[in-house]
Amino acid sequence: MIMGKLSTHVLDTASGKPAAGVAISLYRGGELLFSTRTNSDGRTDSALLSGDTLVAGQYRIDFAIGDYFASMNHADAKLFLDIVPIVFIISDASRAYHVPLLVSPWSYSTYRGS
């Protein structure tokens, strides 16, 4: 049987590098599942969810981008973006879902990876 998983990573497009130390909170249906931080590669040390812990439903990942850019002493930290929420649906929990965040102090984008 194929085991599904949910993963993420954060890329700092202002510097062209992985965003290390970004605080991340994961929610399902409004319930906080857990919080973590990105590692030196801008990823979490393990999947956010996998196997039986990944179920179909609506999820939200909050990325503390304002704090990240403030820790980098970026002049524009918290002048526009603070918390970046990404709300998404997992419809098939047997599949891999990767939710990357490409971010600067002024903009962000995401896409569904695998």
Domains and CATH numbers, the chain: 5-110 (2.60.40.180)
Calculate mean pLDDT across residues 44-52. Answer: 95
Flag whether pLDDT at 78 surpasses 90. yes
* Reported pTM: 0.95
Flag whether pLDDT at 41 surpasses 90. yes
Calculate mean pLDDT across residues 37-54. Answer: 96
> What is the model's pLDDT at position 54?
95
pLDDT digits (tens, 9 = 90+) for 79-107: 999 999 999 999 999 999 999 999 999 99
Phi, psi of 93 (to 5 degrees): -70, -5
> What is the model's pLDDT at position 114?
82
